[in-house]
Amino acid sequence: MEKRLQEAQLYKEEGNQRYREGKYRDAVSRYHRALLQLRGLDPSLPSPLPNLGPQGPALTPEQENILHNTQTDCYNNLAACLLQMEPVNYERVREYSQKVLERQPDNAKALYRAGVAFFHLQDYDQARHYLLAAVNRQPKDANVRRYLQLTQSELSSYHRKEKQLYLGMFG
């Protein structure tokens, strides 16, 4: 168990290095390997074979902390990588960002990435929700502010079109 935690951390660090080098596909591979090492160790997740006895040895609080931090970092870093790769898989970015936010609701990077994903998935209300939360935590971040402005613009445009549609129907 300790070995799997160490291997997961090693894969995560290798992923971080690949990310810094701009090798996003390699980084994604390393982060996935790290998460695979942790599979089955997380007591909060259901066992893949629930009726075959105990899930595994209990984790110490320190090990559980390492497990959760490594998982959270990997999901956050996966979302960052996917935003750099063409074509961007915004569904996955959204999914990974929300996994981070389940454990760390105030994670500014995950809030921003979720907002970007929702923006590109054209769910502007959700994008606005996440980007407002991100801008509250990082008020000077130009990227967050830019995406929030883009989202506000799309929402305004949508509301204008909606108003014209209703005026045409009932006016």
Contact 112, 131 (CB under 8 A): yes
Query: CATH homologous superfamily for 88-171?
Result: Tetratricopeptide repeat domain (1.25.40.10)
Contact 110, 104 (CB under 8 A): yes
Q: How high is the pLDDT of residue 44?
A: 65
Backbone angles phi, psi at 12, to 5 degrees: -60, -45
Reported confidence tier of residue 134, pLDDT bands at 50, 70, 90: very high
Has residue 168 got a pLDDT over 90? no
How many angstroms separate the CA atoms of 137 and 124, rounded? 20
How many angstroms separate the CA atoms of 60 and 104, rounded? 21
Domain regions of the chain by residue span? 1-86, 88-171
Residue with tokens 């894969």: 11
Start-to-end CA span in the chain (Å): 69
pTM beyond cutoff 0.95: no
Q: How high is the pLDDT of residue 158?
A: 76
Mean pLDDT of the region 148-170: 83
Angle at 114 between CA 108 and CA 117, to 5 degrees: 140
Q: What DSSP string describes 42-58?
A: -TTSPPSSTTSS--SPP
